[in-house]
């Protein structure tokens, strides 16, 4: 399934209870991520598709939105209700949304 326009939402508009799939690399995730997000690096999404949460829209995020756009397009083709988070974790952090590190302390976007 090909869409000419990928569904997208600004980081500031992602609902607090949304399913957030972070597709950044392990080092990026460890430095800082949204609390409660699911982490599956982009290169592992195909082999770990069964770990993508079901039952609600999946908000896909990376650092700035490029990798997450590709993953969102793939998920949509698999029948998942997915949307790209425009601006990624950089916009998430800039919007004042919480970012935690691998230990649950204040994190930062790498």
Residues assigned a catalytic role: 62
Rounded Cα distance, 103 and 71, in Å: 26
Tokens linked to 49: 């598709």
- Residue 99 contacts residue 36 (beta carbons within 8 Å): no
Q: At 84, is the secondary structure helix, strand, or coil? A: strand
Please answer whether residues 89 and 63 qualify as being in contact, where contact means their C-beta atoms are separated by less than 8 angstroms.
Answer: yes
User: Which residue is associated with the tokens 């980081």?
Assistant: 11
CA 92/CA 13 separation, integer angstroms:
9
């Amino acid at each position: 399934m090909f869409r000419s326009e990928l569904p997208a939402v600004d980081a500031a508009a992602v609902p607090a209870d949304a399913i957030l799939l972070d597709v950044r690399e392990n080092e990026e995730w460890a430095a800082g991520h949204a609390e409660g997000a699911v982490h599956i690096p982009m290169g592992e999404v195909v082999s770990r598709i069964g770990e993508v949460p079901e039952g609600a829209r999946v908000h896909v995020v990376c650092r700035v939105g490029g990798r997450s756009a590709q993953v969102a397009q793939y998920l949509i083709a698999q029948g998942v209700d997915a949307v790209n988070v425009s601006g990624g974790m950089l916009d998430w952090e800039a919007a004042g949304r919480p970012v935690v590190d691998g230990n649950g302390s204040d994190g930062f976007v790498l």
